[in-house]
Amino acid sequence: MVKKLSDLLEVTDVLAVSVDLETEITGLVIDSRKVKPGDLFIAIKGGQSDGHKYLDQALDNGAVAVLVTDGRLEVESEMISLRWEDGLLGKLANVYYDYPSEQLTVIGITGTNGKTTVATILYQAIVASGAKCGLISTVKVIIGEDEYPSELTTPDVLTLHRIHFEMLQAGCSYVIMEVSSHAIHQQRIQGIEFDCGIFTNITHDHLDYHNHFSEYLRVKKMFFDSLEPEAVAITNTDDKNGEVMLQNTKAKKVSYALKQGSDYKGKILSSTLEGLHLEFNSIEALFRLAGNFNAYNLLAAYACLVELDVAPQDELLTLLTQVRPPEGRLDVIRVMSKDALAIVDYAHTPDALANVLKTIKQMTSGKVVTVVGCGGDRDKSKRPKMAAIAAHFSDQVILTSDNPRTENPDAILDQMEEGITSEDEHRVFRMTQREKAIKMGVMLVEAGDVLLVAGKGHEKYQEINGVRTPFDDKRKIMEFSIR
């Protein structure tokens, strides 16, 4: 992909130029370490780092021009100074990659819980319909036949436009992507033309970043406020903030619910660990996904598929009955040595943990043992709540490390223990090392019991002191279950 510098600067306000506008740009980069000869380095100031400090490094690595977004800096011979404006990077990336999202049907899913599952359901259903589809999720990115692990739920804005371009080149006609609150607030989705936006729910999370729930809610709502009139906005009206999300959207408003009146009304007829028997708008079907919360995820996907006319409605339900859950979401493993079940789930918020445990309690008469931790460098206020929920819905609980990151693991557990009452403390154990906690959980279950290992789900690593080492909850359970 090659563009002249003049092509890019047509979309923004140039304050000073001291390089040749006929210069050919072979890439847009915001990380100076990744600059290659021919690239345009865009220096931006982030929350933890300032790209303007790395101008010399970028030039040394071969940048042919540097875009300086801080107009207070003195402009040197190789630099361009631009007036900073909202959506600047999205505008530049959109032009550079020839407006890829306008040539794709882009579906964005936002909410606290369920984003990855809804994205996975939609991806599988659309591919099964015969269309070619790309996926950008917390678990993985899929471009045509290529698949690789995700680093962020929603990539940075330059990467996102590049991925959309690559999906278009690979023959994709649909793109399914998760839209995180961080991505909305940090303008990572600027320049993306969405055809459909889906709201799953909003509960306690990311308050370390947003500070207040009202701000978290406002940021989520910004996604729907930005949708164009030709788009569809789909919301969960069983969530008390579901209608709030769509108050100011220009898009077509569509609702789904299990309890409230809605455009797409669902009903749970039966629920087991093997799957769900549901009714959508008076049509019955059996689904492979388990857990009452997945009834919402399936219904949201169904509403989206119908609204976008992916296939006839009766065919869509058939496609959805074949969908399998994403890795690490209510992922069931048999504990061979005990004739018990273990479940790995990504539940890392109070609401998600409660939903999974309620599902398990409904489906077993045996004991429930929960292994759970909380991530470091993240929202501290949810830690005692997570522990309290685990104790309330479990017979025994083992508090352990999740990804401590740069925090002291034991300090995190101290904060979790604040949520444990004196009546429950005899049922709660503390095991800082996650591997030992999982081993203890396997030892505690007997025939008919269920072990839940929560918090990390699909992740194949544990991050301690800023260093990631291989760690797979599912693999550890399997190792201990055959001993």
DSSP for 44-74 reads -B-SS-BGGGGHHHHHHTT-SEEEE--TTSP
Q: Indicate if the pLDDT at residue 70 is higher than 80.
A: no
Q: SS3 for 451?
A: strand
Q: Indicate if the pLDDT at residue 76 is higher than 80.
A: no
How many angstroms separate the Cα of 455 from the Cα of each of 96, 135, 329, 483?
A: 39, 23, 10, 24
Sheet with 39-43, strands from edge to edge, namely 14-17, 79-82, 65-68, 39-43, 27-29
Q: SS3 for 386?
A: helix
At 205, the pLDDT band (50, 70, 90 cuts) reads low
- C-alpha 111/C-alpha 249 separation (Å) is 16
Question: Average pLDDT of 37-43?
Answer: 92
Q: Indicate if the pLDDT at residue 80 is higher than 80.
A: no
Contact in structure between 442 and 431 (CB atoms under 8 Å): no
At 447, the pLDDT band (50, 70, 90 cuts) reads very high
Closest-CA residue to 141 (of 126, 159, 114, 125) = 159
- C-alpha 88/C-alpha 228 separation (Å) is 19
Query: Which tokens sit at 87?
Result: 């959506």
- C-alpha 4/C-alpha 470 separation (Å) is 43
At 182, the pLDDT band (50, 70, 90 cuts) reads confident
DSSP class per residue in 135-203? EE-SSEEEETTEEEE-SSSS--HHHHHHHHHHHHHTT-SEEEEE--HHHHHTTTTTT---SEEEE----
The torsion of the CA quartet 409, 415, 420, 426, rounded to 10 degrees, works out to: 40
Q: Which residue type occupies 434?
A: R
Q: What is the pLDDT of residue 204?
A: 58
Q: Which of 207-221, 240-254, 313-327 has the lowest mean pLDDT?
A: 207-221
At 150, the pLDDT band (50, 70, 90 cuts) reads confident
Q: What is the pTM of this model?
A: 0.86
At 274, the pLDDT band (50, 70, 90 cuts) reads confident
Q: Which residue type occupies 124?
A: Q
Q: What is the pLDDT of residue 272?
A: 86
Q: Indicate if the pLDDT at residue 227 is higher than 60.
A: yes
At 71, the pLDDT band (50, 70, 90 cuts) reads low
Query: Which tokens sit at 96?
Result: 């550079």
Q: Indicate if the pLDDT at residue 133 is higher than 80.
A: yes
Percent of the chain with pLDDT over 90: 71
Determine the length of the chain: 483
How many angstroms separate the Cα of 335 from the Cα of each of 188, 205, 360, 436, 476?
A: 42, 32, 16, 16, 11
Give rounded-to-5 percent helix, strand, coil for the chain. 35, 25, 40
At 87, the pLDDT band (50, 70, 90 cuts) reads confident
Kindly report the number of other CB atoms within 10 A of residue 315's CB atom. 14
Q: What is the pLDDT of residue 194?
A: 98
For residue 381, give every residue at least 6 positions away whose Cβ sits within 8 Å of its Cβ, in sequence order, or none. 204, 207
Please, which residues bridge with residue 277 across strands?
270, 286
Rounded to 5°, angle at Cα 233 from 148 and 280: 85
Query: Which tokens sit at 197?
Result: 């936006």
Q: Indicate if the pLDDT at residue 158 is higher than 90.
A: yes
Percent of the chain with pLDDT over 70: 94
Q: Indicate if the pLDDT at residue 109 is higher than 90.
A: yes
Kindly report the number of other CB atoms within 10 A of residue 447's CB atom. 9
- Tell me: the pLDDT tens digits for 348-406? 999 899 999 999 998 888 999 999 999 999 989 999 999 999 999 999 999 999 999 99
In 193-274, at which residue ranges do the beta strands (DSSP E only) sit?
196-199, 232-236, 252-257, 264-272
Q: What is the pLDDT of residue 209?
A: 61
Instruction: Sketch out the chain's domains with CATH numbers.
Output: 3-85 (3.40.1390.10), 100-321 (3.40.1190.10), 331-481 (3.90.190.20)
Q: Which residue type occupies 141?
A: V
